[in-house]
Amino acid sequence: MPDVKMIVNGKKVSGFVECRTLLVEFIRNDLQLTGTHVGCDTSQCGACAIHVDGKLVKACTMLALEANSCEVSTIEGQANDDGSLNFIQQAFKDHHGLQCGFCTPGMVMATADLLKTNSKPTELEIRDHLEGNICRCTGYHNIVKAILAASGQDTSHIAAE
């Protein structure tokens, strides 16, 4: 089997994979980083969203070998160095931006991607950027609120809590 090497959350990792191994399978099964979820396995839901070389991608729709030599970030690499929640995770917690939590890793990775290029996104820009992330619990309202709060914006016009 071919070998694959990458940097995941700042650490060098390597392994042997079948050519057909998906990136999400390598991350979950080989690296045991199970925070990246598989919701649909058909590129719709975004629970597997991670960053590869700084770009948001769906890890269920990319081969592990395509990420060879790349830098990968997953939800496990998002917390602060002391283990506390980072500002996005904290905002999701504070504003009830999750219920069952299954979509949350993807939501946090998509948010981190958005805020990298747009530090003060509007509600519309947030909703547009989350187009590929499906949540079946929250109705999205509090997710949007959490992201507005994470970017230091007023959330008083978002009614529901």
Partner 1 sequence: MYNFEFKQPKTISEALTALKSDEAQALAGGQTLIPTMKQRLASPSSIVSLSEIPEMKGICKNDDGSISIGGGTTHADVANNSNIFPGLVTLAENIGDAAVRNRGTIGGSLANNDPAACYPAAALSTGATIITDAREISADDFFQGMFETALDEGEIILSVRFPVPSLSSYQKFIQPASRFAMVGVFLSNFDNGIRVAVTGASEEGVYRWVEAEGALKDNFSESALNDLLIEPKGIIGDIHASKEYRAHLIKVMTKRAVKSAS
Hey, what amino acid is at 27?
Answer: I
Interatomic CA distance for residues 69 and 12, integer angstroms: 10
Q: How far is the CB of 113 from partner 1 (least distance, A)?
A: 7
Q: Which of 15, 35, 77, 132 binds partner 1 (CB under 8 A)?
A: 132
Binding flag, residue 49, partner 1 (CB under 8 A)? yes
CB nearer to partner 1: pick between 5 and 18: 18
**41 binding partner 1? (CB under 8 A):** yes
User: With binding defined as CB under 8 A, does residue 18 bind partner 1?
Assistant: yes
Task: Give every strand in the sheet of 3-8, ordered side by side.
Answer: 11-16, 3-8, 71-73, 49-52, 55-58
Q: Cα–Cα distance between 124 and 42 in angstroms, integer?
A: 25
Taking the C-alpha atoms of residue 28 and residue 98, their distance in angstroms, rounded to an integer, is 22
Q: Give the range of 49-57, 71-79, 82-90, 149-157 binding partner 1 by CB under 8 A.
A: 49-57
Residues near partner 1, by CB under 8 A: 2, 18-20, 22, 41-44, 46, 49, 55-58, 61-63, 65-66, 68, 110, 113-114, 129, 131-133
